[in-house]
Amino acid sequence: MKSTVRQNLLDAFRNAAGEFISGEKLANTIGCSRTAVWKHIEELRNEGFEVEAIRKKGYRLAEHPNTLTENEIYLGLQTKYIGKTIHFYESLPSTQQVAKELALNGATEGTLVISDEQTLGRGRLARAWHSPKGTGIWTSIIIRPKIPIQQAPQLTLLTAVAAVQAIEEQTDIDVSIKWPNDLLINGKKVCGILTELQAEENQIQSIIIGIGINVNQQLTDFPEELHSIATSLSMEVNDKINRAKLVQSLCFHLEKLYETYLTLGFQPIKLLWESYALSIGKQITARTLNGTYSGIALGINEQGVLLLETSDGKIQHIYSADIEI
Ligand code: BTN
């Protein structure tokens, strides 16, 4: 995690919005010596940031590198707490595991764990999540809502809405949600969400929201078995996408929706989710552990459970399933 001096320096540059700040002013606002300021600026330069220095004027942050680093994410964040504490790794087995340990050790709400690569990325239903280096967003975010445990799945749906909004904002591509939490572009999966819960005596201690977004992979970066079912944002727009900006946007939308949820409840989130959902009103097949059901997807209830009307007019409550549309 970054030092407070570094964090304050980035805040000062962000507030200066591309204008020069004198070394003295930087040292005063940050609360350190001018030598320390200079040392941190050298570190930023080594990371690829272009920091201009002009005598009598001071320093100005000119260029941002198009890389995924802790500083790059932090600089453009427009949130109050989601993503304000970042744990960045070059490689991890899974961000879920690290986030879980941090949450157990008291990490604050909004703490974000992100890795440039996962060697043992996990998906829903104990599947593997392919997370090659330098291509995607593999992140886990800790939240601590004071809600009854049975409402926790609502946060998965909320995250799916936030991810749709972030992707649409950064790419202009239309994204839809396949219940419960797969994001699809033209029928192919681009993002998956895995939420895990820590509870004690029926009280939620934390929810770890794991989000995987295929961003800059090309077809050959995917294993053969995924070629017909997965895609990346870059493949859809034929361009490279700035991953740090996408993370910032994800944090922004997540925080906005989460605040709405905490003040107004699930109803506004449910409406948004349904507006992006692919399957509502359509004939679908749900393969659950207890059997396979076919029918019309009516929508979701307050708990985020999928309601499926079978041909005999019965309403099945689907808690966990693979859906075919
Ligand atoms: C799914 O669709 O099955 C969910 C995929 C979730 C993948 C993300 S990537 C970041 C976090 N770490 C993991 O190991 N999994 C989640």
Determine the pLDDT at residue 65.
66
Determine the pLDDT at residue 303.
84
* Domain end residue (candidates: 30, 63, 96): 63
- Please state the ipTM of this predicted complex: 0.99
- CA distances 314 to 274, 289, 298, Å, are 21, 19, 12
Indicate which CATH number applies to the domain containing 54.
1.10.10.10
Asked whether residue 209 falls in the same domain as residue 269, the answer is: yes
Q: Is the CB of 234 under 6 A from ligand 1?
A: no
Determine the pLDDT at residue 1.
54
Q: Is the CB of 58 under 6 A from ligand 1?
A: no
- CA distances 322 to 180, 182, 226, 258, 304, Å, are 9, 10, 16, 27, 15
Q: In the chain, what are the helix, strand and coil shares in percent, each to the nearest 5?
A: 35, 30, 35
Determine the pLDDT at residue 238.
94
For ligand 1, atom 15, name the residue with the nearest CA. 122
* Domain end residue (candidates: 48, 63, 78): 63
| Residue 228: Cβ-neighbour burial (10 angstroms; 0-12, 13-18, 19+) | exposed
Return the best residue to mutate from 116, 129, 231, 246 for the ligand 1 pocket (most ligand atoms within 8 A of CB). Answer: 129
Asked whether residue 110 falls in the same domain as residue 212, the answer is: yes
At 166-217, the pLDDT tens digits run: 999 999 999 999 998 899 999 999 999 999 999 998 899 999 999 999 999 9
> Which residues form the domain of 221?
70-276
Asked whether residue 38 falls in the same domain as residue 93, the answer is: no
Q: Is the CB of 118 under 6 A from ligand 1?
A: yes
* Domain end residue (candidates: 21, 38, 63): 63
Asked whether residue 120 falls in the same domain as residue 213, the answer is: yes
187 annotated among ligand-binding-site residues: no
Asked whether residue 48 falls in the same domain as residue 86, the answer is: no
Asked whether residue 191 falls in the same domain as residue 292, the answer is: no
Asked whether residue 169 falls in the same domain as residue 245, the answer is: yes
- Taking alpha carbons only, the member of 199, 197, 207 closest to residue 142 is 207
Determine the pLDDT at residue 30.
87
Asked whether residue 26 falls in the same domain as residue 44, the answer is: yes
Phi, psi of 144 (to 5 degrees): -135, 65
Determine the pLDDT at residue 322.
87
Let me know: does 243 contact 212? Beta carbons within 8 Å: no
Asked whether residue 217 falls in the same domain as residue 96, the answer is: yes
Residue spans of alpha helices (H) in the chain = 4-16, 23-30, 34-46, 70-75, 95-104, 153-171, 233-237, 243-264, 267-276
Extract the residue ranges of the chain whose pLDDT is less than 70: 1-3, 63, 65-66
Q: Is the CB of 212 under 6 A from ligand 1?
A: yes
At 106-135, the pLDDT tens digits run: 999 999 999 999 999 999 988 999 999 999
Domain count of the fold of the chain: 3
DSSP string computed for 76-109? T---SSTTSSEEEES-BS-HHHHHHHHHHTTPPT
pTM: 0.87
Determine the pLDDT at residue 320.
86
Asked whether residue 118 falls in the same domain as residue 194, the answer is: yes
Q: Is the CB of 96 under 6 A from ligand 1?
A: yes
Rounded Cα gap, residues 304 and 318, in angstroms = 9
Indicate which CATH number applies to the domain containing 319.
2.30.30.100
Asked whether residue 120 falls in the same domain as residue 177, the answer is: yes
Determine the pLDDT at residue 298.
94
Asked whether residue 56 falls in the same domain as residue 115, the answer is: no
Ligand 1 centroid to residue 193 C-alpha, Å: 6
